Amino acid sequence: MTETPRQKWMQMLADADVADLTAGYAPFAEKVSYTWLVKPETGMLMVQGRADSTGDPFCLGEMTVTRCMVQVMDDIQGYAMIQGSDHEHARLAALLDALLQMSDFHAKLAATLMAVLKSREQQRQQVMAKEISDTTVEFFTLKRGE
């Protein structure tokens, strides 16, 4: 299953820090008018796991999420569902989702915000990869009988 570009940027926006989104959206804030289709609301998703990791699904427990939907420039709709209960994060993610669907905004955002988010994600992954490789056991066998 390959992801569409929109699925990819929605993932980056959902995982992003709010401070980065605020900074990334700031240059467009004045130019963009929007209306709420669904105002930010906090609720839950029932997260499912699978028995034995690949078998039948079961309900593992819920997760707090916040979702919202905006309409930008009369015809473009932006959607966001993010983890946690930060309404501002959801608002910015939905607005940026809408902007990224418009080619002129997309080009500007790709060079600024999305590049920042990408490098942050790479940094996070590098730190984690280092932690993993540092604590991975290397077994060795002692040569005996000498």
Partner 1 sequence: MYVAVKGGEKAVKNSQRLVAEKRRGDTGVQKISMDQIANQLGLGVDRVMAEGSLYDVTAAAMAIQQAQGDMTEAVFLVRAFRTTLKRFGNSIPVQTTKMTAIRRVSGIFKDIPGGQILGPTYDYTHRLIEPDPENVPDPPCDRQTDTETAPPDQTAACDDISSLPGELPRVIDILQAQGLLQQDKTRPPGDAAEDLTRQPLAFPVSRNLRLQALARGDEGFILGTAYSLQRGFGLDRHPFLGELKVGYVAVRYTPPELGFDIHVGHMKLTECVMVNRQDDAARKAAGFETGYGLVFGQNERKAMSMSLLDRSLAAEKNTGKTDYPARDPEFILSHCDNVESSGFVQHLKLPHYVDFQSELVFIRNRPKDHAPDKGNP
Angle between helices 113-134 and 103-111 (to 10 degrees): 40
Residue count, binding to partner 1 (CB under 8 A)? 55
Using the contact rule CB under 8 A, the part of the chain among 17-25, 28-36, 103-111, 120-128 near partner 1 is: 120-128
- Coil, helix or strand for 63? strand
Is 118 a binder of partner 1 (CB under 8 A)?
A: no
Is 128 a binder of partner 1 (CB under 8 A)?
A: yes
Cα–Cα distances (Å) from 23 to 38, 57, 62, 121, 137, in that order, read 24, 40, 31, 17, 42
Separation of alpha carbons 124 and 66, rounded Å: 23
Is 49 a binder of partner 1 (CB under 8 A)?
A: yes
Residues that bind partner 1 (CB under 8 A): 4, 7, 10-11, 14-15, 38, 41-65, 67, 69, 79, 81-85, 125-126, 128-140
